[in-house]
Structure 1
Amino acid sequence: MSHEPASSTGRRRFLKGTAGALAVPTAAGLLGALARPAYADGTGLPDFDPVPAASAGPAPNADGYHVGRIDGHLYWVTDSYYQAMFLTTTRGVVLVDAPPTIGHNLQRAINDVTRANGRPGKVTHVVYSHSHADHIGAAGIFGRDTVRIAHAETARLLARAGDPNRPLPTVTFRDKYRLRVGGETLDLAYHGPNHSPDNIFVHAPEYDTLMLVDVLYPGWVPFKGLAVSQDIPDWIKAQHIAMDYPWRTFVGGHLGRLGTRADGTLQIQYMDDLDTSTRSAITSVDPSPYFAKYGAQGNSWAIFKTFLDAVADTAAAPVAAKYAGVLAAADVFTKDNAWTLLESLRIDTGILGPFGVHP
């Protein structure tokens, strides 16, 4: 077990050398930046750019997980798809999130640590980052006597879901909550909706660590549709709130490695570039062909789909090209992210393009 801080030298060099540079590719380059047409392996599945070495995390063990020390008594566990964090105390273990893909390996990882450090291995507290099943869907494997802490909105959403794998919290809060257990401290805070209506910030001040799920993706572009977030303006704002916290290690809830402050800066630049490119594409893509063809057919939805898809394609291409080899999966999800940002710009910001106030 060890703390593996991600190297940020290459990303810092990238930030310094490419600030403000966002070249618009040729038509051929636009297509190539978004999809790889080769199916050379015979599977019939598309090929994508290789994952940069700096984006990869430690290899899981034979049981399918990796557990490492962040600092002191604070640890993290990953299966390369999801992450949880836990704090060993003199009274037991405080676990933050219980992703079902890690499942019972959570307790195995905890046992690895507590057998080595001599602290109790029983999970006494589980903190829910938010209500989504992919992050807390294994919470039910821990005992009924476990204290479960969440935002008040998480409690409401879980009551509606009625999922036995996500037991209702026993302690809730609305703004801030300081959890002190066995000589250790976690500060929980709610700064408004972002990825979900209830997503919270989990800060371990003694260990300079922040956990915030589905907002920053160290080494990778955000998941499809800007992390399938329910409030895009506040999801973007949450990235900046995260950077206002004092931390040096970041736990993002997804993928295989921890984050650094350079990772946060890089994602904010990616989003700034995507915003600039999307705003430009709204005005540069000619809507006339889409209105002419599909308007004559009376197919309003076809007009919207084809025009918005064309804007997303145009917006995504230079961004995907710029971040290829820098952020993993830039070619996988940048178009989807551009489409979602475009919709937010239209309905949240009022940048309506050809669907604005009729003259």
Structure 2
Amino acid sequence: MTNRPERIESATRRTLLKSVALAAVVPAAAGLLGGPLAGSATAAEPDPLPDYAPVPAASVGPALNTDGYYVSRIQGNLYWVTDSFYQAMFLTTREGVVLVDAPPTIGRNLLRAITEVTRANGMPNRVTHLIYSHSHADHIGASVIFGKDVVRIGHTETRRLLLLDRDPNRPAPTETFEDRYVLKVGGERLELAHHGPNHSPDNIFVYAPAQRTLMVVDVLYPGWVPFKNLAVSQDIPAWVKAHDVAMAYPWQTLVGGHLGRLGVRADGDIQKQYMADLDAAVRNASATVDPTPYFEKYGPSGNAWAIFKAYLDAVARQAAEPVTAKYAGLLAAADVFTFDNAFALLESHRIDGGLLGPFGIHP
């Protein structure tokens, strides 16, 4: 790792450039497809962007520096870095740096953050070990910048998935484990554990016992509601159970992998309550929304998908309303993703739990 990584644009500038590029690409793509899609308006005005509730002050993280990142000590030799969208964690040791995740939105700012910290403390700045929380590109897509000599550690399923993906930016782990793995480097210790699938089949828990800090990604979202569709998790029941697994660790500080601030135990408690309220609301809506109008409207035409969509959307909407109202001003983006989260939980109840409602066993 170089001590003077090349400079890159700030997060704001990168976002602006992407927007400009997208504006240029969309018309060009339409031309390649032979113009507007059949049946579409030729000069349709774009839908106005929706307005959302302000982000509560307690949900906002620290301000970024001019390079577009923030780095700070958690405790002892353990640090975290964020760009307000994603987070990584690193441990400085007398033998080198252990990094957990390499989100591409932070990218080479990871090098800057590590250099900033190690220079100030007279520690080696070379990353010797890189731990993958799971295989998803949005969390480890910048791992390539640490070169071929770094020891990459992940779950066996992470290695299998990355070998299938064949993404040059995400080299597969060189060291793997099934259930538990203890990493000791330069007098420091990290405990890795796989408690079964949750957000993804391979998502692991990384615990720093000396610093009482847990990093688990895409499960708990301090200060915010979970991302769309319950973090687009592949196993919703296991993802819900992962909340209890996380809270069973004796952590004081949580690195959740997303957004701009660290978590405390109260954040875990409130997300568990959010999920309990959402579950109750989904079950109530499933029992009370009358499916008759949707069958009457779309049944005669044989449009089965219209029946499903209209009915399931109605159930999710009814479930989301009281939960959104309760957590508005308490959890950021309650009005952004609660409907999507209600829909995802409803689908899980139908598919995983057998709560089929009007689509159950025909009398």
Q: Same fold (TM over 0.5)?
A: yes
| Runs of at least 5 residues in structure 1 that lack an aligned partner in the other structure | 1-41
Aligned length: 318
State the secondary structure of the residue aligned to 1:250. strand
State the secondary structure of the residue aligned to 1:293. helix
State the secondary structure of the residue aligned to 2:352. helix
Q: What pairs with 1:1-12 in structure 2 (closer than 5 Å)?
A: none
The whole-number CA distance in structure 2 between the counterparts of 1:224 and 1:246 is: 28
The whole-number CA distance in structure 2 between the counterparts of 1:130 and 1:290 is: 41
Partner residue in 2 for 1:264: 268
Partner residue in 2 for 1:253: 257
Question: Structure 2 counterpart of 1:117, which letter?
Answer: N
Q: Find out whether 1:119 has 2:127 as its counterpart.
A: no
Partner residue in 2 for 1:334: 338
State the secondary structure of the residue aligned to 1:345. helix
Tell me the alpha carbon deviations over residues 12-51 of structure 1, each in whole angstroms, 9 at most, x when there is no partner: xxxxxxxxxxxxxxxxxxxxxxxxxxxxxx9921100000
State the secondary structure of the residue aligned to 2:206. strand
The whole-number CA distance in structure 2 between the counterparts of 1:115 and 1:240 is: 39
Q: What pairs with 1:212-227 in structure 2 (closer than 5 Å)?
A: 212-227=216-231
Q: Find out whether 1:230 has 2:225 as its counterpart.
A: no
Q: What pairs with 1:180-219 in structure 2 (closer than 5 Å)?
A: 180-219=184-223
The whole-number CA distance in structure 1 between the counterparts of 2:170 and 2:184 is: 23
The whole-number CA distance in structure 2 between the counterparts of 1:223 and 1:59 is: 22
Partner residue in 2 for 1:53: 57
The whole-number CA distance in structure 1 between the counterparts of 2:61 and 2:211 is: 21
Greater relative CO (CA pairs within 8 A, separation 6+): 1
The whole-number CA distance in structure 2 between the counterparts of 1:279 and 1:351 is: 9
Question: Structure 1 counterpart of 2:309, which letter?
Answer: K
The whole-number CA distance in structure 1 between the counterparts of 2:127 and 2:47 is: 43
Spell out structure 1 runs of 4+ moving beyond 4 A.
none
Question: Structure 1 counterpart of 2:272, which letter?
Answer: I
Question: Structure 2 counterpart of 1:68, which letter?
Answer: S
Correspondent of 1:155 among 150, 153, 159: 159
The whole-number CA distance in structure 2 between the counterparts of 1:137 and 1:180 is: 25
Tell me the alpha carbon deviations over residues 275-300 of structure 1, each in whole angstroms, 9 at most, x when there is no partner: 00000000111100000111111010
State the secondary structure of the residue aligned to 1:206. coil
Correspondent of 1:289 among 271, 279, 293: 293
Identity of counterpart residues, as a percentage?
Answer: 72
Question: Structure 2 counterpart of 1:211, which letter?
Answer: M
Partner residue in 2 for 1:244: 248
Residue 273 of structure 1: how far off its partner (Å): 0.1
Q: What pairs with 1:335-350 in structure 2 (closer than 5 Å)?
A: 335-350=339-354
The whole-number CA distance in structure 2 between the counterparts of 1:43 and 1:202 is: 43
The whole-number CA distance in structure 2 between the counterparts of 1:96 and 1:164 is: 19
Correspondent of 2:280 among 276, 290, 297: 276
The whole-number CA distance in structure 2 between the counterparts of 1:87 and 1:216 is: 22
Partner residue in 1 for 2:41: none
Partner residue in 1 for 2:89: 85
The whole-number CA distance in structure 2 between the counterparts of 1:293 and 1:56 is: 45
The whole-number CA distance in structure 1 between the counterparts of 2:163 and 2:64 is: 34
Tell me the alpha carbon deviations over residues 157-191 of structure 1, each in whole angstroms, 9 at most, x when there is no partner: 00000001001111000000000001100000000
Residue 138 of structure 1: how far off its partner (Å): 0.1
Partner residue in 2 for 1:30: none
Tell me the alpha carbon deviations over residues 120-174 of structure 1, each in whole angstroms, 9 at most, x when there is no partner: 0000000000000000000000021100000000000000000010011110000
Correspondent of 2:147 among 143, 149, 152: 143
The whole-number CA distance in structure 1 between the counterparts of 2:289 and 2:72 is: 48
Question: Structure 2 counterpart of 1:194, which letter?
Answer: N
Partner residue in 2 for 1:24: none
What's the Cα RMSD here?
Answer: 0.9
State the secondary structure of the residue aligned to 1:207. coil
Q: What pairs with 1:159-174 in structure 2 (closer than 5 Å)?
A: 159-174=163-178
State the secondary structure of the residue aligned to 2:299. helix
Correspondent of 2:48 among 44, 52, 69: 44
**TM-score, scaled to structure 2:** 0.87
**TM-score, scaled to structure 1:** 0.88
Question: Structure 1 counterpart of 2:312, which letter?
Answer: L
Q: What pairs with 1:316-331 in structure 2 (closer than 5 Å)?
A: 316-331=320-335
